[in-house]
Structures are given as C-alpha cells and as structure tokens.
Amino acid sequence: MTKYFNEKVALVTGSSSPRGLGRAIVNRIAEEGSKIVIVDLKQDDVEKAAKEVSSQYNIEALGISCDVTKATDCENLISEVKKKFGRLDFLVNNAGVLKDNLLMRMSESDWDLVLDVNLKGVFLMTKSASKLILKSPTGRIVNISSVSGLTGQPAQANYSSSKAGVIALTKVSAREFAGRGVTVNAICPGYIQTDMTGSLPEEIQKKLQEMVPLKKLATPNDVAGAVKFFLGEDAGYITGTALRVDGGAAIGM
C-alpha cells in the first residue's frame, strides 16, 4: 500500500466478472489502497463485486451499473461518484465486446454494437468524467485497446476498427488534457485468458499460443500490471502512447 494510491479514487468499466481483465485491474489498484468504483451492466453483479473487493482489500468500493453506450448513464454515474467521493483520479475504460464475422457476412447491427460499446463508450465515459478528473492533481486515464486495433484481424472489421479508434481517441484526449497534467494512454493486449477468449475452440487457443514468442497467452494479471504502471507515479511523464502487452507477438517468431 502506498500513499500515492491510498488517497485516490479509481473507476474501472466492465469490471464485475471475477475472471475478466476489469476485475484484475480493480484488484491491482485495490491492493494499493485506492477507493474503487466498479462499473458494469447489471446492478446485482456490480454490488456483489464491490462487496468482495471491499472485504478482500479492506478499502471502500462502490458498485454502480451503467451502460457505457448511454450518455445519461455515464453522466449519472459520475454524479454518484462526485456525491460519494468528491473526486476521481483514475479512469480505466475497459468495457468491451466482440462480435466476430467475416466482413462480407457481418451484420450492420453487429458493427454498430461493437463500435458503440468499444469506441463510443470510451468517448462518453471520458467526456462525462473529464470535469472531475481534470481537477485531480494526478489524473490518469487508461484505455484498453487491442493488438487487433494495430494490425487488423480477419473477421474483426468491427472490433479492429473500434480498437484503432480507441488509440486515436487516446492521442486526442492526451493532447487536450495535457495542459492540466492528466495523462491518457492505451494498452494493446494480445490474447488474454478471459471469458472473451475462453469460448474459442481449444485447437485455436493452442495455435494462438504457438504464435506468441513467450509461448503462452496473457493472464488478466499480466495486463493489469501494465495498467497499474500507467496509473502510478513512475508514469507521470508518459502520455498519448499505445503499449503492446503481447508476449512478443509484434517481433514474431
């Protein structure tokens, strides 16, 4: 536990599932003593997650349901955070969905859903949180993108486009908020072992592992460590970057 994290309030979207990246990020911040706002679609899930995190790490944790694609949900969420804690220091835009299909077969509704959650959701959350986070002496925003947004993946026209958009949005917000000392960075994970990838057939998961020089998929904790670095004191002079956390996939075999 450090003084730096101890006095801060952190909000992580898409963080109610115990197996997801969002919860791993929450755990990494909570163990440092920050107060936590757990955000996800269902009220029951966020309340349960907040109770678990609060008792495990002995910190204040609040669960608030919010659909990040809805502007009024995002605004109400930030009003509640302001009422409860009076401040917001860390925002992690992690909520995301996949709806893979070849471009020729991809429905317009699957395109819209993925762009709405993964890209518009980051815009709406950042916009709603900006007033409060700009007042923090050490405001930090971390956006979860993907290597898919850097390279483009077959069957992911919607997902790759949304995650590339997140990198551009990261750079724009980094420039706009720099004057107030708020940093904004993106993380581009390769494949992580979560529910999102657990549904892939076993032979595909094995193939993916073979493609990574470190010969394993990332755990949620591997990626959460990079998020904690960007939120921490040592990353104060880093903004507008997109960091790959991909087991060396970028350098190839």
As measured in angstroms, the least distance from the Cβ of 168 to ligand NAD is 16
Question: How far is the C-alpha of 165 from the C-alpha of 71, rounded, in Å?
Answer: 19
Question: How far is the C-alpha of 192 from the C-alpha of 237, rounded, in Å?
Answer: 28
181 or 208: CB nearest ligand NAD? 208
Question: How far is the C-alpha of 243 from the C-alpha of 58, rounded, in Å?
Answer: 31
Among 4, 18, 31, 41, binds ligand NAD (CB under 6 A): 41
Among 35, 37, 90, 96, binds ligand NAD (CB under 6 A): 96
The verdict on 189 binding ligand NAD (CB under 6 A) reads yes
DSSP 18: T
Structure tokens at 137: 């002496």
Q: How many residues bind ligand NAD (CB under 6 A)?
A: 27
Stretch that binds ligand NAD, among 3-11, 13-21, 53-61, 231-239 (CB under 6 A): 13-21
The verdict on 195 binding ligand NAD (CB under 6 A) reads yes
DSSP 44-58: HHHHHHHHHHHHHHT
The sign of the CA dihedral 145, 73, 228, 94 is negative
CA 69 centroid distance within chain: 15
**159 among known catalytic residues:** yes
List the catalytic residue out of 4, 159, 191, 237. Answer: 159
Question: How far is the C-alpha of 39 from the C-alpha of 224, rounded, in Å?
Answer: 16
95 or 142: CB nearest ligand NAD? 95
The verdict on 146 binding ligand NAD (CB under 6 A) reads yes
17 or 151: CB nearest ligand NAD? 17
Question: How far is the C-alpha of 66 from the C-alpha of 125, rounded, in Å?
Answer: 10
Residues forming contacts to ligand NAD in the complex (CB under 6 A) are 13-14, 16-17, 20-22, 40-41, 67-69, 94-97, 117, 121, 144, 146, 189, 191-192, 194-197
